[in-house]
Chain A
Amino acid sequence: MDSKTLMYILKRIVLAVVTIWAVITITFFVMKAVPGDPFASEKAVTPAARAALEAKYGLDKPIFEQYLNYLTGALHFDFGPSLKLRGRDVTAIIFDGMKTSARLGLTALVIATVTGIILGAVAALRRNSIIDKIIMVLTTAFVSMPSFIMGTLLLILFAIHLKVLPANGATEGGLILPVITLSLYPMAYITRLTRSSMLDVLGQDYIRTAKAKGVSERNIIIKHALKNSLIPVITYFGPELAYIVTGSLVVEQIFAVPGVGRYFVSSITGRDYPLIMGTTIVLASLIVVMNLLSDIMYKIVDPRINLE
């Protein structure tokens, strides 16, 4: 890697940190500006209890002081205790949920990418054959169908009628249906992307040259065609990840997967300030980092691309 690329990466990292700081600051003040508070409930706590709780969690301090305290804590990776889930730290809650969410998300990501590329390549190489047509019809269906419908259909079919897979994401084998649901859309998208990009590449002069030189078909496909047709797929990596992260919120709900997704909403309705911050920071960092990685990979695959 040349020094220019390194400089670029460094710059991007600094920018990423600034982005995350901005996310923290905006979220913090917007969150505090929203009416309501973590101790509100239909049956009111006594004023004495409320005062004690506010003092305990530092909510009685001026808002700017609270903000500085939070930033200091966050710098040391201390995201504080949850205000609602008494006795649990935000870090532990998120880590706990992340174990499952990451397993679900990463598996879906890998399956979607690998199957998508293979199916796309097959469809392109067997263009207009019956296989190509089947793949195109199916991917069109998967791309158009929202995950909550797909998830529900799979649930009814495999968990209720056939009873071969559990409906509950927390039980053994429970992640199979959620992974399938989550990966279908990006898989279909990648298939179509790979197919069109591959068709484009296969028509290029250098492929014809390679053929004329007698390079085996296998080598042409893997070394020349596939590698070059993956560039659009890599650009899709960022959006794909974003889809998987947000899509898993829905999928986790449908299959009752014990992931981190539910906290994104429940922390806000409960005004669990530290948990709102924690989930937001994690999500923001994930997307910032993944975008960065995707850009770097982009450069590696195609050195001609000018990152500046």
Chain B
Amino acid sequence: MSVLSDLSRRNFLKAFGAVSATATLAACGGAPAQTEPSASEASASASASVSEASASESSAAAAPAAGTIAVCLASEPDVIDPALNSSVDGATMIVHLFSGLSKWEKQGEAFVIVPDCAEELPEGETDADGKITYTYTLRDGLKWSDGKDLTANDFVFSWNRAASAELGADYGYMFENVDGYEAISEMKETGQTDEDGEPIMEPANPDAKLNIEAVDDKTFKVVLSTDVPYWNELLAFPTFFPVREDVVSDEAWCTDPSTYISNGAYKMTGWDHNSVITVEKNENYYDADSITMDKVEFYLSDDANNMLSNFENGSWQLIDDVPTNEIASLKEKYPNEFVVAGQIGTYYVGWNVNEEILPAGTTLEGVEAENARAEIRRAIGLLYDRNYIVEEIGQAGQVPASSFASMGLTEPDGSEFYKNAGDNDGYDGYYDVSAEATESNYNEAVETLKKYYTFDEGTQMFTDFPTLTYLYNTSESHKAIGEYLASAMAQVGITMNLENQEWNTFLNTRKAGDYSVARNGWLCDYNDPISMLDMWITSSGNNDCQFGKGAHASVAAYSCDLTDLGYDLKVENGTWAETYDQIIATIKSESDNEKRFALMHKAEDLLMSTGAICPLYFYTDLYMINEGVKGFFSIPLGYKFFHYTTFEG
């Protein structure tokens, strides 16, 4: 998982959403350069397992000192159940309260994955069927916060619960690589139809389980259908954390400290709804001695102004959001306390590929028409000055984006994925986003558009571009960006009206493809480009651009050639399903990491060639932290760690 939230509380989900959106933009401010390197290093070393020794050394670095820290990440999370949580702030609380097989740790400037409940993180063993078995030995003496023993059976129960359709967790799909998940997610028709005449579906195998097993109390065995290089990182994702069957049998268990039994470095000792959640050191945690902060108070508020007031008067030591319009002055007033951190995610404009943008009466059809649409969309992407957007509108240190896969995603060799994207030298990604290139981009765009539309040399405007509508969810920052995009297009005579919708309606409209152009954004849940690329396959629930859907299903205008990498896939003028879907399927079944990354670049090349994705900037995470706090770190997924902090006010 990899994201950060500028949106601090916010759901990963909601992350870009209503609330968060503001934060986002708002959020990113200051000095991304400082944090980027660590993000990339993080991922570089993340997949390697690290010895326990080095892990404990680093955590022992801060001198133990008693204390309490008060922080405010966001308003109350909907639910603080590791399996059901879908917010970044909720995840932060959960990494304090629970402990999975692995965990994040900061070593030097890098963020690494180290064993937690597991004694070590072994390599998987591949069997004859190509399935991969991981066998974990749990540490001695693992206990729940109420003193009961934690066993491998707890992991078996928790994983099956989290993956089940019955629980309906947003992140249930994170188990997709585990053998048996396919049966869990399979649907069948009930034979009945709903009010719209659509068949009503139900899970085909309600009793299906994951292929995981407790060999004995201390040995937990997992079988994967395909191996993934980020597997160890997934183990540190809250969805994979253990919960105990007798505890969670009552759904209300995670709403009250008296029933909140956990196994992490902290236990919950107080919860005033919508006010504060208090966690205190859990003496039953195996590594309790290295935890320096005794008590963390998570105050619950989503009002950035209120957060700032409490930060400024010293009540809270960390706040995860600041008022957008204060960013500039806060940067000056608190140069050491105002932090902009890297975050893996991209803010972009998405086109509905089924929207006709060719001029009325065009003679183009078939492949030519589709290629023309792609060229036009790409050209319009060049009309925008991304530096203006991040400097004048975002104002929070966001980085102009020239590719969809975000900054912060790294290659096996540790280099940035986005820097290797595209095939042009001289700049990163698919086009040049430097300030110097703004004018040449603009001219190039106009020249391209002239091929398809009537250009009035007198007014320097196109006269027959169909009117577009830009859809965004209601928020000042999204609106400001929309207005800028519209004005940039108006300069060449293209009319783009703005339409805003309330968050939930917006999600619905965008998902249904009932729009022409819409704002969009994505924060990664783990550091691997596939977490951004697989959302564009035809069947994906997040395929808002409608690739391969509706009329686009029969558009045969895409080509791909994987023969140079040794695969038997070469398609010319195929449909989206025959090309993009196939590349993603190939990536998911490939365990050679070098090849996976080569394939992922090809997938992104194809995706970007459609012009339907127009990246604007990479997200950053912004927060303020009291200078007296030492030993704090936050990872590019946005989780904040107070375990090893000390605070002297």
Interface residue ranges, A against B (CB under 8 Å)? 34-37, 39-53, 55-56, 60, 62-63, 81, 84-88, 93, 96-97, 152, 155-156, 159-160, 163, 166-171, 253-256, 258-259, 262, 269-271
Contacts and interface: CB of A to CB of B under 8 A. Distances in A.
Contact of A41 (B165, B272, B507): B507
Given A36-B505, A86-B84, A49 B165 contact: yes
A47 to B, nearest CB: 5
A62 B200 CA distance: 12
B301 A168 contact: yes
Contacts of B542: 42-44
Given A170-B274, A170-B299, A256-B306, A42 B14 contact: yes
B165 A46 contact: yes
Nearest to A168: B310
Contact of B306 (A50, A96, A168, A262): A168
A55 B202 contact: yes
A51 B11 CA distance: 22
Contacts of B505: 34-36
A52 B166 contact: yes
A40 B511 contact: yes
Contact of A258 (B81, B168, B173, B272): B272
Contacts of B299: 168, 170, 256
Given A35-B508, A269-B504, A42 B18 contact: no
Nearest to B201: A51
A44 B251 CA distance: 23
Given A37-B504, A51-B203, A63-B195, 16 more contacts: A34-B504, A36-B505, A41-B86, A42-B507, A43-B170, A51-B187, A51-B202, A60-B200, A86-B84, A93-B273, A155-B306, A160-B312, A170-B276, A255-B306, A256-B300, A262-B75
Contacts of A45: 168-170, 172, 541
Interface string B339-357: 0000000000000000000
Given A49-B172, A85-B79, A269 B502 contact: yes
B168 A270 contact: no
Interface in B164-217: 164-170, 172-173, 184-187, 194-195, 200-203
A270 B169 CA distance: 16
A170 B272 contact: yes
B309 interface: yes
Contact of B504 (A49, A53, A152, A271): A271
A52 B170 CA distance: 12
Interface of B: 11-18, 75, 78-79, 81, 84, 86, 164-170, 172-173, 184-187, 194-195, 200-203, 250-255, 272-276, 299-301, 303, 305-306, 309-310, 312-315, 502-505, 507-509, 511, 521-522, 540-542
A163 B312 CA distance: 10
Nearest to B170: A45
Contacts of A159: 309-310, 313
Contacts of A62: 195
A170 to B, nearest CB: 3
Contacts of B14: 41-42
A46 B173 contact: yes
Given A47-B187, A62-B195, A41 B306 contact: no
Contacts of B75: 262
B622 to A, nearest CB: 20
Contacts, number: 178
Contact of B185 (A40, A46, A96): A46
Nearest to B81: A86
Nearest to B310: A167
Given A47-B201, A269-B18, A269-B503, A53 B273 contact: no
Contacts of A50: 168
Given A87-B79, A256-B303, A262-B274, A155 B309 contact: yes
A46 B172 contact: yes
Contacts of B503: 269
Contacts of B306: 155, 167-168, 253-256
Contacts of A156: 309
Contacts of B201: 47, 51
A49 B167 CA distance: 7
A174 B337 CA distance: 26
21 contacts: A35-B504, A36-B508, A42-B17, A43-B13, A43-B541, A45-B170, A45-B541, A48-B165, A48-B184, A48-B186, A49-B165, A49-B167, A52-B166, A60-B200, A87-B253, A88-B252, A96-B273, A168-B299, A258-B273, A259-B274, A271-B504
Contacts of A42: 11-17, 507, 521-522, 542
Nearest to A36: B504
A152 B79 contact: no
A176 to B, nearest CB: 15
Contacts of A40: 504, 507-508, 511
A97 B273 contact: yes
A50 B184 CA distance: 13
Contacts of A46: 165, 172-173, 185, 541
Contacts of A160: 309, 312-313
A84 B76 CA distance: 12
B649 to A, nearest CB: 13
A28 to B, nearest CB: 16
Contacts of B310: 159, 166-168
A53 B300 CA distance: 27
Given A36-B508, A41-B11, A88-B252, A168 B315 contact: yes
A112 to B, nearest CB: 23
Nearest to B165: A48
Contacts of B254: 86-87
A160 B542 CA distance: 44
Instruction: Name the residue among A41, A159, A259 with the largest chain B CB count within 10 angstroms.
Output: A41
B170 A41 contact: yes
